[in-house]
Amino acid sequence: MRTDKSGGVRITNGEKQHRNDRAMKDRSNGDPNQRDLRLDVFRGAANWAIFVDHIPNNAVAWLTTKNYGFSDAADLFVFISGYTATFVYSRYMRARGFLVGASLLLGRAWQIYVAYALLFVAYLAAIGYVAQAHGHSHLLDEFNVRYLIDDPIETLKHGLLLEFKPLNLDVLPLYIVLMAVFPPALWAMIRYPNIALAASFALYLAARTFGWNLTAYPTGSWYFNPFAWQFLFMIGAWVASGGAMRILPMLRSRVVIAAAFAYLALSLAIVMTARFPQLGSVLPASLSTFTNDKTNLAPYRIVHFLAIGLIVVRFLPEHWSGLRSPWLRPMIVCGKRSLEVFCVGVFLSFVGHFLIELISDSIALQIFVSLAGIGVMTAIAYYRTWTKDLRCLPPNEKLSAR
């Protein structure tokens, strides 16, 4: 540090860089209270974006990243989930052994499954009621719940087995499976992170080469292929295990940063050309007919997401004072209460879709529904945070004393 003429302390650029370097160390072996607020900000933003994107023909969805590149909020959600799972549970596995860490991970997977089961039942009940009570029978086909009417017992059984998934309920089953099989992968990630990531990459390549996927009910396969999407989850785990420090020279390279910006510009041009055929003359014909393979997590999606992440890490330092701004507080709270916010957002996306279809598809109503939904999600996040704080208080202590 240096002292300026006024007697204050000024932090040099070298010290700032050193702080950023320390922020990228192996977080899975650090202080559990040192949260990277960037993760909460982007996870909260991902939950908001998923809600907005799930409302069909929603003009507000043009504000989300899916319209401007290959990757979208789902990629961000899976990456952060892998990062957070490693950050939280590797500490227990290091300190108390594999069995303790694995049991805690499986307990979390069970919590996610219970949340999914409740959402699944409420979601089906809401769609079925609206379809029958208001004469919108097309919703049964649009949300893939027609089989519930034809054979409810069999459909519920396969739904609870994660084989039958209505529209927009694909992410949580993927999350459940990844968390359930993560204990041995986490053990390997703690001891041999590079080998663990290489094994994950090999599985990813094999799944794409041989067409591996899980079977869905009644036909087809999973929309989010877990054999492919596990690789992005494991990349997040690898970064949390100190992977960022291993590629620190790359993060600092101006050439790599320039290449990342160039790739994002290319992806923007390709996506815009695919959405607006009149722009086809801008790119070669082979690129203008582009199809984004989300099911099997195409390599260009991974590269696009990593390019964004590289730029974020480079230009948005962990200790940036703006992360503590009250304007970002709602997003951070939603990121910290991600599971509850996600479930509420999925349910509200159907409510929003029905309201727009029933009342009007005007831009004003689309904006109102989107903002109202985000407001409800934020209120739920604040409420869950408040109740968690209450449970942490001694029985005879008042909340105002905190």
Convert 112-125 into a string of H (helix), E (strand) and C (coil).
HHHHHHHHHHHHHH
Domain boundary among 279, 295, 316: 316
Q: Does residue 270 sit in the same domain as residue 373? A: no
**Choice among 222-236, 245-259, 302-316 with the minimum mean pLDDT:** 245-259
pTM of the entire predicted model: 0.87
57: left (phi over 0), alpha (psi -120 to 50) or beta: left
Together in a domain, 160 and 231: yes
Q: How sure is the predictor about 370, in pLDDT bands with cuts at 50, 70 and 90? A: very high
Rounded distance between C-alpha atoms, residue 215 and residue 271, angstroms = 30
Looking at every residue in the chain, the average pLDDT score rounds to 86
Task: Compute and round to an integer the Cα radius of gyration of the chain.
Answer: 23
Give the position of tokens 């069999």: 154
CA distance 20 to 311: 14
Mean pLDDT, residues 43-47: 94
Same domain, 298 and 389: no
How much is the pLDDT for 395?
A: 63
Same domain? 63 vs 183: no
* 11 domain residue, yes or no: no
Residue 2 lies in a domain: no
Q: 10 forms bridges with which residues in the sheet?
A: 2
- The secondary element (H helix, E strand) that includes residue 10 is strand 9-10
Residues 84 and 228 in one domain: yes
Quote the CA–CA distance of 171 and 165 in Å, as a whole number: 10
Q: Which of 192, 214, 239 is at the close of a domain?
A: 239
Task: Find, among 354, 344, 346, the residue nearest to 131 by Cα.
Answer: 354
Q: Which domain holds residue 204?
A: 75-239
Quick: pLDDT tens for 237-266.
999 998 878 777 877 889 999 999 999 999
Q: Are residues 206 and 355 in the same domain?
A: no
- Among 178, 205, 239, give the residue marking a domain's end: 239
Do 174 and 322 fall into the same domain? no
Could you give the angle at which helices 98-133 and 171-180 cross, rounded to 10 degrees? 160
Is the domain of 261 the same as that of 339?
A: no
> What values do phi and psi take at 273, rounded to 5?
-65, -40
Strands (E), 244-376: none
* 345 falls within a domain: yes
Mapped onto helix, strand or coil, the DSSP state of residue 228 is helix
Task: Name the residue among 72, 113, 118 with its Cα closest to residue 224.
Answer: 72
For residue 102, pLDDT beyond 90: yes
Q: CB of 70 within 8 A of CB of 287?
A: no
Secondary structure element (H or E) that encloses residue 2, with its range: strand 2-3
**pLDDT band per the 50, 70, 90 thresholds, residue 141:** confident
Domain membership of residue 3 (yes or no) is: no
